[in-house]
Structure 1
Amino acid sequence: MASHRSNGDGVESMQLAEDQIKALEENFMKVSKHPDGTTLMLIAAECGLSEEEAARWFRLRNAQWRQSEGLPAEQGSVKD
């Protein structure tokens, strides 16, 4: 299970094991940036996370990806 901590500016960050991050990143890049409920459940089980934790990771990772692409952090009219 992931642990959460504050990084000083009030924003919580997830503490994940290296193997969890690797599995999440692989799924993000190869499977889907926006997994459906069933896929998310399978990814969460693979990583030993709750579905809520996996969904939160994908939300945070999508915001990070969008910003790196020069897009707004929040999903808008431009599809990923």
Structure 2
Amino acid sequence: MQHLTGNPFKRAGTMSAETANGPTEDQVEILEYNFNKVHKRPDPTTLCLIAAEAGLSEEETQKWFNKRLAEWRRSEGLPSECRSVTD
């Protein structure tokens, strides 16, 4: 079992006005930790647990991971999206 910060079954609360403009500082901390320590491309179950832990929807969490992965790939000198070897 992969380790997540805190209790993955505890919701951090409902969406606030800050969440509508992006994750709060605390939510970003949870997302960054999981991106760096757990997995850059979490499976659906792990994504669900991370979303619950951060108090975000699965859709918001997936979007954050997609953007963060593209940012990480660019920082590593890779294309922002993974393409097939025939492209």
TM-based fold match above 0.5: yes
TM-score of Structure 1 vs Structure 2, range by shorter chain: 0.7 to 0.9
TM-score (norm 1): 0.79
- The higher radius of gyration belongs to 2
- Structure with more of its chain in strand, by fraction: 1
> Which residue identity is paired with 2:43?
D
Count of aligned residue pairs for this structure pair: 68
Which consecutive unaligned segments of at least 5 residues does structure 2 have? 1-14
Structure 2 residue corresponding to 1:3, chosen from 20, 25, 41: 20
RMSD of Structure 2 on Structure 1 (CA): 1.4
Select the structure with the greater relative contact order (CA < 8 A; seq sep ≥ 6).
2
Match of 1:27 in 2: 34
* Amino-acid identity (%): 60
TM-score (norm 2): 0.73
Shift of 1:76: 2.5
